[in-house]
Amino acid sequence: MEKELITINAKGSPPVEIPAQGLNGFQALKALGINNMEKMAGIKINGEIKDLSTEINSSAELEPVYTDSQDGLQMLRHSAAHVMALAVKDIFPETKVTIGPAIKNDFYYDFDYKRAFEAKDLPTIEKRMAEIIEEDLPFIRTEIPRIEAIEFFRSKDEEYKVELIEDLSEGKVSIYRQGNFTDLCRGPHLPSTGKIKAFHLTNVAGAYWRGDERRAMLSRIYGIAFADQKALNAHLKNLEEAKKRDHRILGRKLDLFSIRDDVGPGLVIFHPNGALLRHIIEEFEIKEHLKRGYEMVAGPQLLKTELWKKSGHFGHYRENMYFTAIEDQSYGIKPMNCLAHMLIYSSKVRSYRELPKRYFELGTVHRHERSGVLHGLIRVRQFTQDDAHILCTPEQLKGEIQNILDFVRDIMAIFGFDYDLEISTRPKKSIGTDVDWQKATKALIEAVEEYNLPYQINQGEGAFYGPKIDVMLKDALERSWQCSTIQCDFALPDRFDLTYVGPDGEKHRPAMIHRVILGSIERFLGVLIEHYAGAFPLWLAPVQAIILTITDRNIPYGKDLLETLFSAGIRVEKDFRNEKLGFKVREAQVKKIPYMLVVGDKEMESGNVTIRLRDGSNLPPMFSKELIGRIRDESENRR
Ligand SMILES: [Zn+2]
Ligand SMILES: [Zn+2]
């Protein structure tokens, strides 16, 4: 009997006919003459990533996935997680395994062992992992009925796996085996453990099973894995740099803020320089908003619970809110600033001629974040947003979104951030009509496309009340941070019956945008500290200059200079202590103060100052007038 033939092809190479049975992905790619087989992680079959061992039995477009590509790295890291699980089970046989995904640069696996794993366990686990990689064990995929999988994992005492499978719908589940370790897994995986060329276990932390604090506390071991040692080393160097820039460490060194147990987790105390830095940013923001036609407003911290019921926050967001009672009346502390802004809008009849209305508030909000996710200034329980709500006609929506994108572009250029955009569309559970969603989503996409900015669409990831654009900042270490968001809302204008009188004399529903540019000021500060490694540009630096005397004789002259600079509005400090100049300079350098103004006998005589910069270089001596001009100029140009 003649064998049936199918056609396979790969981008850029002519189609090839192969027998419909008997060839797997690896062999099919070989038949197509594709090289570099040893660097292959998996295969894309009609765009879907699969194991190389997947049988090809219908015509398809094939594409190799290499270990150094984004998709390949995901497979590599996820496979490394399986290797780690095998290593842990080999060394600590009573360990129960849970889940082990690849995340952005890392992978992790959560384990339940009689004690928490510690950093000192990691080298032992790494050593066993290296042996498993050396053995080059194949990853073998099998599909078995769900009920069989439950029995299998129950027989192995893997209760977490049993729970996971019990949550799956009827039918078959896939399992992967390498050596004597079997895991429930959707895949895909590398063909064998030997493809993992470079890995390192980085960290161990506690994590609740399914993120639920009422359930078991597990040990989460993190690792990184790369296609080669060079890429791993580069990443480790980056991590090292990130550690040095950690805003929690720099925040203490620069005396910017503190977070204390006796105050409460996620609650920030800003020290003088931190509060000043924050004030500089807020002042800058107010100016930028007023320039762009926003109006400043301010709402109260507490609003009656009935109002939160009306807005839907009580129904959808209650878990994240704090409530209190005053004279038997229940109040909610605001987690968002929207409500007061809408009440301002609805405080009188609005004509289409007044639109758009742009209400801006540096609004302090409180949100209940679980203590496990709190992190320095990045995730806190009380923070201030540069929040605005724009109410406009549906026709104005696209233009308003473009205005906001302009705003984001201008601001991020000043701080030196690159960014990507992500558009999130309608989720399954949502309110509003199809027409509304289509219109708003179209407005978002068109606005972004006219910008020529790269963007990705997150299908179904929008809020239940409307689509949104997220701005993902890239900092100096190429790390990405979520920052600005632009969010359309169909729900609130309805719930609060917001209207405007159109040219036709009839009442119409305005479109509403919630938007933040920097987002949480606290979080943005945290990102800025790491981005600049604490060396803020002059316009942001809470202390722009410090006067250093050489001997006590120079103190009166130093005081005069201090007065002159103060009255010129320069943020200046003094160090008149009886210490060696070199010591004072080093201290000022640790504080990353841009200008060190040295005054000694020579300077006193000539009536000028000698200037040292924080990078160690010097400027020629200057008179105070010149210096003031220079500092003002740099500040105005936001350098
Ligand atoms: Zn897996
Ligand atoms: Zn809002």
What DSSP string runs through 527-587? HHHHHTTT---TTT-S--EEEEESSGGGHHHHHHHHHHHHHTT--EEEE-SSS-HHHHHHH
Which carries the bigger pLDDT value, residue 272 or residue 489? 272
Question: How far, in Å, CA of 8 to CA of 59, rounded?
Answer: 5
Q: Predicted confidence band at 56 (pLDDT cuts at 50, 70, 90)?
A: confident
Q: Are 182 and 176 in contact (CB under 8 A)?
A: yes
601 given a catalytic annotation: no
- pLDDT greater than 50 at residue 509: yes
Question: How far, in Å, CA of 72 to CA of 213, rounded?
Answer: 34
367 given a catalytic annotation: yes
Q: How far is the CA of 401 from the centre of ligand 2 (A)?
A: 15
Report the pLDDT value the prediction gives residue 1, as an integer from 0 to 100: 45
Stretch 354-382: mean pLDDT: 94
Burial 538-574 (b: 16+ CB within 10 A, else e): bbbbbbbbbbbbbeeebeebbeebbeebeeeebbbbb
**Given 389, 398, 426, 515, which residue is catalytic?**
389
- pLDDT greater than 70 at residue 3: no
245 given a catalytic annotation: no
Least distant ligand from the CA of 107: 1
Report the pLDDT value the prediction gives residue 28, as an integer from 0 to 100: 86
Give pLDDT tens digits for 289-302: 999 999 999 999 99
Exposure of 401 by Cβ count < 10 A (0-12 exposed, 13-18 middle, 19+ buried)? buried
Question: How far, in Å, CA of 484 to CA of 463, rounded?
Answer: 15
Mean of pLDDT over the chain: 93
Question: How far, in Å, CA of 58 to CA of 19, rounded?
Answer: 9
**Beta bridge partner(s), residue 61:** 9
Which carries the bigger pLDDT value, residue 393 or residue 104? 393
Q: Are 175 and 144 in contact (CB under 8 A)?
A: yes
pTM equals: 0.78
**Given 385, 396, 487, 544, which residue is catalytic?**
385
Report the pLDDT value the prediction gives residue 238, as an integer from 0 to 100: 87
Residue 256, SS3 per DSSP: coil
Q: Predicted confidence band at 32 (pLDDT cuts at 50, 70, 90)?
A: confident
Which carries the bigger pLDDT value, residue 18 or residue 219? 219
**Given 468, 523, 591, 612, which residue is catalytic?**
468
Give pLDDT tens digits for 135-182: 999 999 999 999 999 999 999 999 999 999 999 888 899 999 999 999
How far from the centroid of its chain's Cα atoms is residue 536's Cα?
A: 21
Q: How far is the CA of 314 from the centre of ligand 1 (A)?
A: 39
Q: For residue 192, give both structure tokens.
A: 């064998």
Q: How far apart are the first and last CA of the chain?
A: 78
Q: For residue 353, give both structure tokens.
A: 């001629």
Stretch 336-361: mean pLDDT: 97
* List of residues 6+ apart from 444 with CB closer than 8 A: 401, 423, 467, 468, 469, 486, 488
